[in-house]
Amino acid sequence: MMIKESSLRRDPDLGGELAFLAKGCDFVLPSRFKRRLKSFQQAQVQSKQEKKPGTSSPVPLNSVVSPYTLLPVNKATSSTPLSINIPRFYFPKGLPNVCTNHEEIIARIEEAFTEFEDEKANICEMGKIAKICGCPLYWKAPMFNASGGERTGCVSVHSFVSMWRKILRNCHDDASRFTYLLAKPSCDYLEQEDFILLLQDVVETHPGLTFLKDAPEFHSRYITTVIQRIFYTVNRSWSGKITLTELRKSNFLQTLALLEEEDDINQITDYFSYEHFYVIYCKFWELDTDHDLYISQKDLARYSDQALSNRIIERIFSGAVVRGNEVQKEGRMSYADFVWLLISEEDKRSATSIEYWFRCMDLDGDGVLSMYELEYFYEEQCERMEVMGIEPLPFHDLLCQMLDLVKPEREGRVTLRDLKRCRMAHVFYNTFFNLEKYLDNEQRDPFAVQKDIENDGPEPSDWDRYAAEEYEILVAEESGNEQLQEG
């Protein structure tokens, strides 16, 4: 290894490394390199002796001077790292509002408690306290429980003020306060069981659900339905835990606040509609022949006159979209899982529905629908059409249609992003596993399909339309049965 001594002096990085090696390094170096290293050390010592304070060492004539060496150097900044004051920009519990007078709110709360017997509030009286705190009426049950009311049956002014001070100090927006009230200690997310007490209070006190007081066996079914609809819409991560970010991005808190303004709960179609619950439960009841609140693959195959293919039903029961071991081990689906299935089947335009069916069709779980997977599902559709005397479209021709419909970013690979972007995922999915809807779409006017794509107005969702139509049919059937019994 031939290294010129002048190059060693010109290279400060190499010089630093060699100086480090010279300080008692235990490496066994080649003798030639040792001689070069010794020469380098001697040159370093000589240069230090010749160098005087205030003077700089001359630059060799044949050396290359970097243009950066001509720039002025600030000794103060070069010797110490520059300190930059970056203001805080991340507030997981909300942005603090310095203008809010918390003590004024506490004083109003304490004054309100003086109107109650022994300065203690029950869960009904907690509604007044919730409004003083600037919260919606139906936060009263979570507030009551968070203050210890569930244990004692009432809440004292001291326990509530202590709890609310802690919230005002640590939580600065509605999402973080709501989560603090409902979540388990030290948890910053909401699980399904966290909503039970809140929804039980809605069932017992909302004027649009007074008829349920005489049917307590339906309380848990309604609550289960609402919880599943909340997680279907809000829990975009499919984790089973609603985070603060997911709660803020959803409309759940705004919808919950509407409950106190609207006496007809069926007008609030998001989450809480009793009519929607009635449709879902009746559809499940028709399939659950033994009424054990579970359905099998055979039961589900009867849905909508065998509309779903057997292969997609097998994928549903494989655990691709259903949590828990009951589906895979015992081959049965609970009512809670059926809520997800029915909404996904009747509204394939929503983000959760697109993800639901994509998981079912993605057989190998690689995040891409290959041509093999599409052909696998279309084969059964062809077989069923042939039984009905309908000549099916060859797969190659159908594939061209679907790729023109979706316009995937990469040829021959359909991704979840492609399906969400094309806005025709419902047509795509029905083609491969819902024969009835596929045939209906084939008979539609193509201009009507284009109108669906271009329509951005606030139209009711496919689920809202389906639930309204089915509810009218169910009510008409019930009225007809009553007339027959009376006759």
**Do 34 and 42 meet the contact criterion of CB atoms below 8 Å apart?**
no
Amino acid identity of residue 226, one-letter, is V
CA distance 444 to 463: 20
Angle between helices 335-346 and 219-234 (to 10 degrees): 50
Q: From the CB of residue 109, how many other CB atoms can be counted at a distance below 10 Å?
A: 18
For residue 77, the model assigns a pLDDT of 46
Q: What is the H or E stretch that residue 369 is in?
A: strand 368-369
Nearest to 415 by CA among 366, 379, 378, 463: 366
Residue 160 near residue 147 (C-beta atoms within 8 A): yes
| Per-residue model confidence (pLDDT) at position 458 | 66
pLDDT at residue 17 in the model: 56
Tokens for 74?
């600030």
Q: Which residues contact 457 (CB under 8 A, 6 or more apart)?
A: none
- pTM of the entire structure? 0.79
d(CA 92, CA 95): 8
**Consecutive 10-residue averages of pLDDT for the chain (487 residues):** 50 55 51 65 67 49 44 50 78 76 91 92 94 95 93 92 94 94 94 97 96 90 98 96 96 96 95 97 96 94 94 93 69 94 97 97 95 97 96 95 94 94 96 95 69 64 96 90 69
Cβ neighbours, 10 Å, residue 450: 10
User: Which amino acid is located at 126 in the chain?
Assistant: M
Q: How far is CA 324 from the centre of its chain?
A: 19
Which amino acid is it at 382?
C
pLDDT at 331: 85
For the chain, the first-to-last Cα distance in angstroms comes to 111
Q: Is residue 269 a contact partner of residue 459, using CB atoms and an 8 Å limit?
A: no
Q: Cβ distance 284 to 295 under 8 Å?
A: yes
Specify the pLDDT at position 322.
81
Determine the 3-state secondary structure of 415 from DSSP. Answer: strand
State whether residue 156 is helix, strand or coil.
strand
pLDDT reported for residue 71: 45
Per DSSP, what are the bridge partners of residue 246?
none
pLDDT value for 97: 76
User: Do residues 316 and 322 touch, judged by C-beta distance below 8 A?
Assistant: yes
- Please list the residues that pair with 189 across neighbouring strands: 243
The stretches of 133-218 forming alpha helices (DSSP H) are: 140-146, 149-152, 157-170, 174-182, 196-205
